[in-house]
Amino acid sequence: MVSSSGHHPAPLADKRNTAPDPGHSPRLRHLIIHLTLRLRQSGPYLGDSGHDHADNARKPGPFAVPPHTLELVSATTALLTDHYELTMLQAALARGTAGRRSVFEVFGRRLPGGRRYGVVGGTGRLLEAIEAFRFDDDALAYLERTCVVDGRTLDWLAGYRFSGDVWGYGEGEAYFPNSPLLVVESSFAEAVLLETLALSVLNYDSAVATAASRMTTAAGQRPCIEMGSRRAHEWAAVAAARAAYIAGFASTSNLEAGRTHGVPTRGTSAHSFTLLHDSERDAFTAQVDSLGKGTTLLVDTYDVAEAVRLGVEIAGTSLGAVRLDSGDLLSLAGEVRRQLDDLGATETRIVVTSDLDEHAIAALAAAPVDAYGVGTALVTGAGTPTAGLVYKLVAREDDDGDLVAVEKRSAGKVSHGGRKYALRRLGARGVAEAEVIGVEHAPADDSRGATDRPLLMPLIRDGEVVGREPLSAARDRHRRAREELPPTALQLSRGEPAIPTRWEERT
């Protein structure tokens, strides 16, 4: 049974579609919580067909679904987890080793796709997901019914909440091979359960943020608009819009990313809008009349030159923009620019879309393009849809209560035991020179060049989130971190990491 306050805030005084503070108020913020509802179907489900849109006066109450048909059974991220995390827990509880203090780390062995640097994405989402990581009645009933774990383990899970410490690279930070992006210290039992969730969030969001950063580099001062929602899982799309914004995108087409994360949203129109109308003239007139002369007209449904002429005829020379979504964009943009200028629409911008990636954006650098709309390549990580990060046990308590380094030695997947600390070594004029990873100690400033920058910040302390920040902070951090890298970092070609990773072994 779900109920609501029926709250309906008054419109803000400033009604422009600009980003609200992405951090919202510290005392009032939005969470996306994924609930499992049980539907009781006492009649045809939502069977009141023949709804008449002529009679659609705005009704109060957020729930269009009759509340009596739905029963809230679960609000948790705890089953976004691999089966084996729970069976390992069961065996460790039985053996008496589940309580051993343990350190797990998230890192990538390499930068996939020949990238020069990676970009940390997802940290803020992960903190919220960890807060929601509880085993509620429905989750426990599922685990019991399917015999995933035994009764003792179920009892332990019922009381689960993460009570340990987490440190990590700030969201938006650059990273390199073996950078310890996240360090989780707690009992083995508490920490092992977070493996799958932590990797899911960080792997997807970091893959998108990394691709997005290359695109905004290629675009230079021209804005990039994220519009890939339709080419990604519907909730991955929201995360992608958020990650792209961190890496410098100006806006997104995704409305849920606007509501939940405060990312500015933008939209133009589609071919279907033109085709709906009896002529392109009708369609453009409808759009300009309703959305204003500042709107963006899609001009490639039929003949581009005719559509551009028509757009300026209808909207005048203050037409906001035209969008090109097909053809040879390099030559077409030039032709359209000349045509617009000849028509006196010198301020009308040209937005290009159509399967752009960072290379296509770079290839249009000399074309008179004002903004790039990027879809598929963004949400799929531009050829690298997952960052390839892993979550590994690097140290754990022994029988004497000492923390000892551990590492596996399997072929080709050697890990580096011991808890890590990280520092970005900065040289003259503050340019990054190396990623220094200290094993079991924090590396010190080398007293040369600019002051070196420690990279791990506290995120959770004694189970309480202390690293929450507005999205704008991650966006600012990314800009600063990228500016600090040597120029080779901004090359789009496949190559070596922009700075080397240097180990400082335990002494």
Cα 381 to Cα 231: distance, rounded to the nearest angstrom: 11
Give the length of the chain.
507
CB half-sphere exposure, 132, CA atoms < 13 A: 19
The interface region with its own copies, picked from 6-14, 216-224, 357-365, 498-506 by CB under 8 A, is 6-14
Question: Given the complex with its own copies, which of 45 and 483 has the nearer CB atom?
Answer: 45
Question: Given the complex with its own copies, which of 302 and 496 has the nearer CB atom?
Answer: 302
Contact 126, 80 (CB under 8 A): no
Asked if residue 290 binds its own copies (CB under 8 A), the reply is: yes
The interface region with its own copies, picked from 276-284, 420-428, 436-444, 485-493 by CB under 8 A, is 276-284
Cα pseudo-dihedral 48, 53, 57, 62, rounded to 10: 50
Asked if residue 409 binds its own copies (CB under 8 A), the reply is: yes
Is the C-alpha dihedral spanning 270, 275, 278, 280 positive or negative? positive
Question: Given the complex with its own copies, which of 427 and 463 has the nearer CB atom?
Answer: 463
| Residues numbered 29-88 forming contacts with its own copies, rule: CB under 8 A | 29-42, 44-47, 49-51, 53, 55-65, 70-77, 79-88
Cα 436 to Cα 259: distance, rounded to the nearest angstrom: 39
What 3-state DSSP class applies to 81? coil
Cα 251 to Cα 106: distance, rounded to the nearest angstrom: 29
Cα 317 to Cα 309: distance, rounded to the nearest angstrom: 11
Question: Given the complex with its own copies, which of 94 and 444 has the nearer CB atom?
Answer: 94
| Residues numbered 416-475 forming contacts with its own copies, rule: CB under 8 A | 462-465
Asked if residue 342 binds its own copies (CB under 8 A), the reply is: no
| Residues numbered 309-338 forming contacts with its own copies, rule: CB under 8 A | 325-328
What's the closest the beta carbon of residue 129 comes to its own copies, in angstroms? 7
Q: Whose CA is closest to 311, among 278, 336, 276, 277?
A: 336
Asked if residue 185 binds its own copies (CB under 8 A), the reply is: no
| Residues numbered 144-183 forming contacts with its own copies, rule: CB under 8 A | 144-148, 150, 154-156, 158-161, 163
CB half-sphere exposure, 371, CA atoms < 13 A: 22
Asked if residue 3 binds its own copies (CB under 8 A), the reply is: yes
Asked if residue 9 binds its own copies (CB under 8 A), the reply is: yes
| Residues numbered 233-252 forming contacts with its own copies, rule: CB under 8 A | 233-239
User: Looking at 190-243, which runs of residues are DSSP E strands?
Assistant: 224-226
User: Among residues 386, 472, 488, 501, which is the contact residue for its own copies, using CB under 8 A?
Assistant: 386
Contact 262, 22 (CB under 8 A): yes
Asked if residue 291 binds its own copies (CB under 8 A), the reply is: yes
User: Among residues 179, 206, 268, 348, which is the contact residue for its own copies, using CB under 8 A?
Assistant: 268
